[in-house]
Every structure is written in C-alpha cells, then in structure tokens.
Amino acid sequence: MFAPTILGALLLPLVGAVSVSVNRTTSSSSLHTWWHSTGEYNTQTPVLDGNVRQSGNYSVQVSTSSNTSDPSNYYDSFVYETIPRNGMGNIINPLEPTVLSTNGDGITIEAAIGMTMAWTSFLYSEDVSVKISRLDGGSTAASNVIIHPTTLDYAKTEVNGDLYITVPYNSRGVRFSVEFTDNLYEFHSNCAISCTVGGLVQNTNPSGESYWQGPFDGGNPVVGIEPLNSLLIFASPFPAPDMVPEQTSPTSLVVEPGLVTDVHTTDKTTVIFNPGVYWLSSVAHLALSSSVDWVYFAPGAYVKGAVSFNTAAPTMKATGHGVLSGEQYVYQANIEAGYCNEQSNQNGLRMWSGVSSDDQQTFILNGVTINAPPFNSMDFTGNLATLSTQVSDYKQVGAFFGQTDGLENYAGSTVQDVFYHSNDDTIKTYYSDVTIERVTVWKGTTAPTVQFGWASLTLENVRVADVDIIHSRYPSNGSHPSLVGLNQLYSQPDETDPYTADVANHVRNVTFANFRSEGISGGLFRICPLETFDSFLMENFWIEEFSPAVTAIAQSELPQFFDAARKDPVGVSGFVVKDFTVFANKTAVTQDAGNWAVGSLGNMNIAPMYISSGGVTIV
C-alpha cells in the first residue's frame, strides 16, 4: 500500500532524542494516567538503561469529559514503543553487540520496513475520551480510522487535526488497536519460490532483509495487512485491593529505580516496583529468593528483565499495571550459555518462570503488560500437576521474535481479558479443566492461534471462548497456519506420518466458541489426531477473508491417523463444526449446503471415513 517514496520518508532514522519531562497526568478515582521523564525517541538502536522507548508517531491524552474544546480536561498518557530486535540487530552474544548473525530469529522484513508497535495504558472507572495526535502529520479524519476488533463501535471524531475516541467504561477493561488507512502495509509472500516454506518479502529497502527486486506479481500474494506503526490502547479497571500490596509492610521490599541487584537475596515476601525505570542488564534476570511470592509492578513502573519464582508458597502473584520488558535480551537467551542466543527448551529465558512444588500452587497474573519476550513467554518446571494459573487483564506486546508463545495454562487454570501479540502458539490448551475467555490476538507468521498438539494428550473439560483475531500474516503453508491446531509429535518433524497416535488418550468435552478472524486469515483448523476424539465442538467461527488460494494456507486438514504401536485407526466421534461462516456477508459453511470440502467455500480436507461414519459433522 505504501509508495516507495512515502515508505522511505517513514524510515528516516529517529535516534536518541529524549522527550520533554514536563507533563500533565492525573491520579483520581475515575482516571489514572502516568508518564516517564526519560522517554527516548529512538527507532534504530537500544535505548539507554534508564530510558523508555517512546513513540515518535503518536501522543495520547485522556479525559473523563467529552468536551473536546477545553484542553485542560485532558491528561497525558505515556505512549510506549517497541521495535523488532529492540534495536540490537540479529546478534548471538549480548556482550558482542556488533557481531551480527544470519541465524533465523523469526523476524523477516519487520526491521527492514521500519515496523513499530506503540501502546498506552491507563486506569479508569467511567467513560473516557481518548485524544490521539499523529506526530507524523498523517490524517486523523474519522473516515481514515479503523478500530480493531471492529465490533467495538466507538464514536470517533476529528477536531483540529486530533482524533477523539469515546471509550465507554467496561469493568473488564478494553484492549484495542487504532489504525489509520494511510499507514497500512501490505505483506507479500514469496510463494513464487515455494508456498510450503515461503517467507515475507519487501521491495522498498534494498539494503534490508528479504528484499525482492522488481515489482510484485501474482506469485507474491498479499497475506496480511497491518499498520506499519501500530497503536494499541489498554484501558483497565482499577485493581481490587488484594492486587495491590502494602508499601509499608515489614514484609515488603521496595526496590529503588536503577540497576536491580538484591531480589535474589531478600528475606521479604513481596517485591514492589514503584513508578520508575529498572533494569537487570542483558545477562541477568529477576531470580527471586525463595521467600518472595509476590511481585508488584505499579502503574508507571518499567522493569527491563524477566521473573523467576522459587517459592513453595501456595500463591504466587505478579500484579500491577506496569511493564515487564525483555528488550535487553537477545533471541532465545539461554541462561546457562551466558544469555546468548542458543536454542534450548530447558534453559531458554522466559518472561515468567518458576519451580512448582509438590503442594498445590496458584500463579495469579493481573494487570501487567509484557514487552519484547525473547522466547516462550512462560514455563514452569517441577510438579506441574499441582500448579494452576489465574490470569486477568494481561497484555503481551512486541513479540516480533519467533517462538514468542502465549502463556501456559496448566490444569485448573482460568484466563480472562487478555491481549496477545504473538509469533508462535498463542492460546495453549495442553491441560484439562481450563477456561479461557475474551482474548484479543494479533498473530504473527507462525503456528495456529489455539494449539493443543505436539504430544498425544488426554484433554478434558476445556473451553476457549470469545476470541478476536485482529491480524494475522502467514507467509506460507507451513507450521499449521490456522485458527485451531493440533500439531504433530514434537519429536516427529514429518507431520504427514500418520502412525504416531496413541489411542489410549482422548479429547473429550472440549469447546472452542465465538472466534472472529478479521482481515486475511489462515484456515479453520489443522489437526493431526494424535488421540481419540470424543465430544469436540467448534462453534460460531467467522473468517472475514481467506489467504490467497495460491498459498494453500486456507485449507483445513483432518487426516486419518493410527496408533503408533497397534496400528489401530484413531476413532473420531462427536467432532462438530457448528455455525461456521465466512466473508463479510457471513455465508454459512455446512454439509447440507455442500460447500465444506476442498475446492469449495469451506475448503476442508477431512478424511472421508470421518465424514461417512458421522464422526465429523458440519452444521
């Protein structure tokens, strides 16, 4: 969509400028905004330790008044920014920042085209007006603005070059993207080379990665459309009292802004980060002492690090509306290898990790925003059968790297009101008795939105509902590009080998409901049935637009699999696709309509015996 001359102007370096420290914020019972005096405008390099990357594209103010004519009613809300690789380049050793690598890190053209992601957060208890100013001089006319999810029909007006959005109060908060049509970028795939292992390509920056000489043609289909410079709004309700620790308690450690050095030796139970900037360096993280069971990130706290719990307490907490940022780490930072980029599922640094005890434990995660995860965002070790999570009002941004999964949802977990920017398995359902509701997803290039594969599992009593996928950009037909996926065995790279199931395991009473996929999308499902299916429901799914046919991305797959040992076929019964619709007019896909199979509207490649036996029905 961008002409080369326009994109070239947008790619002009913005390095090192520090924003003004003077600001006007508010802290009342109806609205709480915050600011950082060390904001740094910089889209090219890492920011200083004590600085916070600030958007040079947008400024935001918020008011509880709808009077747009009186600027005194509006209060500043800091606009954070995150960029691909955090300005470090593709490096292996964080202590050798000038030594670049060609190893894949999940980032293709994002850095080359100058992608940025900005966000602002505030607390509110009544309707507010959000004022957005474009610092790049772009149009703020209401007709130039799209809000995602598009179901949020918020009033928009333009006054004197500024955009005003009325955001009604929601007790669960709201998380949405504000997009300008003159800032949208079309992502092209190189399917002219291979639609199985293709990637994104760009033809505007000759010195950048994945440069495609010459104009795009039919072999370079558009596989996604996103803002080049995105802006997210996170409006959160005020936290419950039990989510905010007592500052003066003798069991609280209030950390001083700056380099963090003492959380691994403290005998306190609660670690508090008040407003300010904190960092650990690129070769350290918050390895909490065994006494610590609560970490609090106050609104306005910005902590550059990752958290590891080491407590046997029955409850672990990470709460508050501050930010935990992985921006100082390299991709796949391996703790045991000096935090270098060395792939390890065991030692890769997670933003949230810990060791679960043999006694029941609950990890409560509320309010926090994480930025720039270097790897999977969460994994605990130990006895995972005794661990569950309670997640609410959680946000993940800046997940440009590959393998930036969503949270783990252990048995008995509840997850509500989450925003994920994710470049791998996003909503993980590997465990039973899990409820996940109201999730907004900005999908990258890899893996399905919902993942319940990689091993043969017994999975019961799982419900995932009310999911809005606002963007996705799958460049190829690899890695199960779909809304719902059950990937092949992790140890089996050949997903076409059907003799890998274990029929002793089963999927039962699993429901995925009320999914909306806006814009260009992957297919409905890619399922390798590694276990017996009994009572599996996909209900009320909508896909606005399939990926172009040349990519084969839109095709759903449910092949026949067999038990690895006994060679018995996997039984599939009670597998129901109900109320699946596509396109803006929501055309229904059903067996009765005869439009479900490959080559027709639904484009589902389902093993014939599952259809003929009635094991799979599409109604």
Sign of torsion over alpha carbons 180, 183, 449, 385: negative
Mean pLDDT within 400-411: 98
Q: What is the pLDDT of residue 5?
A: 35
pLDDT value at 8 more than 50:
no
Give the percent of the chain with pLDDT over 90.
91
Mean pLDDT within 160-177: 98
**Which of the following is catalytic: 405, 417, 468, 563?**
405
Q: What is the pLDDT of residue 6?
A: 38
E strands, 198-282, in order: 200-201, 222-227, 229-237, 252-255, 258-259, 270-273, 276-279
pTM: 0.96
Sign of torsion over alpha carbons 104, 110, 113, 114: negative
Q: pLDDT by residue (tens digit) across 112-133?
A: 999 999 999 999 999 999 999 9
pLDDT value at 296 more than 90:
yes
The band of 192, judged by pLDDT with boundaries at 50, 70 and 90, is low
**Which of the following is catalytic: 76, 105, 417, 424?**
424
| HSE-up (13 A, CA, CB side) for residue 419 | 28
399: tokens are 């997940």
C-alpha to C-alpha distances, 382 to 113, 350, 353, nearest whole angstrom: 42, 15, 11
Mean pLDDT within 424-433: 99
Sequence-separated (6 or more) residues with CB below 8 Å from residue 196: 476, 477, 478
Q: What is the pLDDT of residue 20?
A: 56
Q: What is the pLDDT of residue 4?
A: 37
Q: What is the pLDDT of residue 107?
A: 95
Q: Which residues pair with 533 in a beta bridge?
A: 507, 572
Q: Determine the Cα–Cα distance for residues 228 and 83; give it in Å rounded to an integer.
A: 11
3-state secondary structure of 542: strand
Q: What is the pLDDT of residue 236?
A: 99
Residue 22 or residue 494, greater confidence: 494
Q: What is the pLDDT of residue 1?
A: 57
pLDDT value at 294 more than 90:
yes
Q: What is the pLDDT of residue 10?
A: 44
Q: pLDDT by residue (tens digit) across 44-102?
A: 999 999 999 999 999 999 999 877 778 899 999 999 999 999 999 999 999 999 999 99
Q: pLDDT by residue (tens digit) across 327-340?
A: 999 999 999 999 99
Q: Determine the Cα–Cα distance for residues 227 and 141; give it in Å rounded to an integer.
A: 16
pLDDT value at 108 more than 70:
yes
Q: pLDDT by residue (tens digit) across 134-167?
A: 999 999 999 999 999 999 999 999 999 999 999 9
89: closest CA among 352, 401, 537?
Answer: 401
Q: What is the pLDDT of residue 3?
A: 39
Mean pLDDT within 336-357: 98
Sequence-separated (6 or more) residues with CB below 8 Å from residue 176: 147, 148, 149, 152, 232, 233, 440
Q: pLDDT by residue (tens digit) across 353-369?
A: 999 999 999 999 999 99
CA triple 358-364-369, angle to 5 deg: 135
Mean pLDDT within 163-183: 98
pLDDT value at 280 more than 50:
yes
Q: What is the pLDDT of residue 584?
A: 96
Active site residue 405: yes
Active site residue 153: no
Give the percent of the chain with pLDDT over 70.
96
Q: What is the pLDDT of residue 462?
A: 99
Q: pLDDT by residue (tens digit) across 380-398?
A: 999 999 999 999 999 999 9
Q: What is the pLDDT of residue 494?
A: 81
The mean pLDDT value of the chain amounts to 95
Q: pLDDT by residue (tens digit) across 458-508?
A: 999 999 999 999 999 999 988 899 999 999 999 988 888 999 999 999 999
